[in-house]
Amino acid sequence: MDILKCMLIHGMVIQGVAKGDHYGPVAIGAPDERSSEQCIKYGQRIARLAKLILSNK
C-alpha cells in the first residue's frame, strides 16, 4: 500500500481492476486467449479513463 500512497502524493492516477489478475494482465511467453482478452479490456478501460481526465481540463 505504501507505493500506492507515494503515487497518489505525486499526483498519479491509479486504475484498479476488480476482476482478473490483481496486477493487471499477465502472460509468460506468448499470450494465450485469456491474457489477450484481459489486455484488450484493460487497455479500453485505461483509454476511457484518459478521455475522462482530458475532457475535464
List for the chain the helix, strand, coil content (%; round to 5): 55, 0, 45
Say if 8 falls within a structural domain. Answer: no
Say if CB 27 and CB 35 are below 8 A apart.
yes
Is residue 37 domain-resident?
yes
Domain assignment present for residue 6? The answer is no
pLDDT at 1 (0 to 100): 72
Please report, in tens digits, the pLDDT of each residue of the chain (57 residues total).
789 999 999 999 988 777 777 778 888 999 999 999 999 999 999 999 999 999 987
End-to-end CA distance of the chain: 29
Give the integer Cα–Cα distance in Å for 27 and 8.
28
In a domain, 9, yes or no: no
Give residue 37's pLDDT: 92
- Which grid cell is 43? 487497455
- Identity at 14, one-letter amino acid code: I
pLDDT score at 22:
73
Domain that holds residue 30: 18-57
Q: How many independent structural domains does the chain possess?
A: 1
Q: Residue 3: inside a domain, yes or no?
A: no
Whether the full predicted model's pTM is greater than 0.75, yes or no, is no
